[in-house]
Amino acid sequence: MLPDSGSIEHCTMSSEILGTNKAFSVYLPYGHEDGGQRYPVLYALHPAGGIHETWIKLGQLPQVADDAIRSGMAAPMIIVMPDASGMGEHHLGKRLGFFSVPGWDYEAYFHKELLPLIDATYRTAPDRKQRAILGASMGGEAAVAYAQKHPDLYGAACALSGLVGRPEQSRMAETDKDYAASLIANDPTARVKNGGPEDVEKWKRVRWYADCGDNDYFYEGNIEFFLAMKGKGIPLSYRMRSGAHDWHYWITGLAPVLHFVSVAFGGRAPAQVRPEREEKG
């Protein structure tokens, strides 16, 4: 590990909304512990079958973030990796996903408990322009849907191989009807198509990014999402590279995402914290 590398924390919080403990991991950029600065924050949502550590173990997120920050391609940022795994050995059972299902209000947990905890615990810049969200596959749909529902909370939203346009293509949806219903109810493409003028104006405040491989089984849905956004005049930075629905594609697409959200953050050095705020710690 290089001396100017970021660090990783693995944490657990008690959720009153879910009635259980939920794990999450956090990447802290080099210098975070030195104090005196606040950092933008990126939420990175995992694909189905993943857990809060998956972006670290399979997605090489700490290494990619360190390299992007060192090179100046990305601004120093805090990256939060929540857990939306399902039950069972392979994390694909009940309670899977970032959307709420009967008896499991995950979205309320995410926005009413996790986000406030992160802003209270770490040196974040708690402003929508300094908050972004990223997801791969299942997490990609959720990242876009969260920003559509809460444009007041996110300045940028990015999907890598997102399950958009045709969410019924999810293999897990065949066996879990609640999960399937949650995917369909939150489809970002349908929301864009059905959005009114006021919705469109709010969505234009968010920077949107989507990247899906030409050999990905979700590529048609991603193209439909791009066309829906274009049809409503909502800017979307769309990428289609050579590749499939796998971690190689997502790893190679991560650094451009970090650059994209850094532009959304404003490309400025982290703001200094006032001394009196620092003393209250």
Summarize pLDDT for 181-214 with one digit per residue, the tens.
Answer: 999 999 999 999 999 999 999 999 999 999 999 9
| pLDDT at position 273 over 50 | no
> What are the tens digits of pLDDT across the range 46-98?
999 999 999 999 999 999 999 999 999 999 999 999 999 999 888 888 999 99
Q: Look at residue 280 in the predicted model and tell me its pLDDT.
A: 31
Return all residues near 227 (Cβ < 8 A) that are at least 6 apart.
Answer: none
| pLDDT at position 152 over 90 | yes
Ordered by start, the domain boundaries in the chain are 8-280
Torsion over CA: 205, 140, 9, 77 (sign): negative
Residue by residue, DSSP assigns 20-55 as EEEEEEEEE-TTGGG-SB-B-EEEEEPPTT--TTHH
CATH number for region 8-280: 3.40.50.1820
DSSP 87: S
| pLDDT at position 277 over 50 | no
| pLDDT at position 163 over 60 | yes
